Structure 1
């Protein structure tokens, strides 16, 4: 009986060990479980987007809010030109756009004219007023109504002029179109700019992995395939990062017998460096 109980415990222990090993196999990374199609290709890690930013109008730089290596969120104002005249024009346009006194005045006049017309129409039905006087009242009432429309149109124009003044002022600011890190700042406060770049900005999430592949491998690598990337940088020597093939050049380079492949790699924490060499293995889908 004791032997049977001991045998049962050994069987149960074996089941636990096998089950644990099986779960470990199931949770193994996809890269380790995939078959390598193209091994050990040299590559370069690059930002997914690099833009040079400048002002759309010439002027004197009044303020810069960021410097080299600073992180900038999308939509942040990075620099501004001296804009005293434009700010004053905007203030005037804002006041003109919010005033509606002219419309109210014309409406009062039109309402009074309509009441006068109705009273005179009743008098005209009893021949108590001349046709000429009635014609004059009708004309004045129509003019008053047209004056209301004219004031409404002028108010609409003043609102458009406010939007125009706002747009003119906004052109004197640099607003970041992407979320990224400043690579270079070319200009400083007090400098005059005219079609000159002020900042160079790099988007680091996601990153692009650029690979030059021999033309003999054309058709082997496909869009959507996974790549295991090992970056040649301190702290990343023994780490394999996952990337996805996003673009494959449709035209190769006849002189070198190669074509380009681009992979995309997520970098939400901005911890993966760019501008460094790497090695990539392509895995079967």
Structure 2
């Protein structure tokens, strides 16, 4: 429980939780499950607090992008699911502590995502000549997201035709053909999106790196002699591609979410289908769980 120790122990939450889940499947009545679930909760609490602190301080490159914290924020639900499958419950005091740590971690992650939006805008201003690439990247992302959302509709159509009492197979074949076509185009769109995203990050990083290197070169020897962490500045420049990708990811997530909600709302209004409702519910449950 000592948060002054900056390193995670040899046993991590996910490792122990996975072992508990495997044991619950093999020996559901094992006496070790209770202690295993409790220690899993303790490890999750410690890792969540540590990730929150390190993400907030932005001094550790392993936590600076928020990815580890985001993953840990999804783990309390996973812990509850494992405990339920094992027929155990997380102690109430640990559950309360985890809930409080989750709130703090969620606040830090939300603040970081808001800063990422501002950071992305600043980077765009520094590299205005790459604006058309960024717009193209967002267009491909929106297109891929649109196809992914429409794929839900056609999957629902396939299930709906299977439930229909009609003896004709033609509607089923049409639905299958439409779904396969949308899925194929969607896969190609996601490949294009990935390539464009990588290209945009590289172009923006090159543009900003040139500006920063020129800025460093223009400094005189007095300025350099006063710098205590000059290698940190150089590392910052070399690590720009990763920071740019992280900064651009948050606005892209917002755009994708808005696109999904808009299209799904339109589909629901245009066609009332229980299967469509179920597919949309499962789609969002996948993100939340």
> Normalization by structure 1: what TM-score?
0.27
Structure showing greater relative contact order (alpha-carbon pairs closer than 8 Å, 6 or more residues apart): 1
More helix by share: 2
More strand by share: 1
**Structure showing greater Rg:** 1
> Normalization by structure 2: what TM-score?
0.27
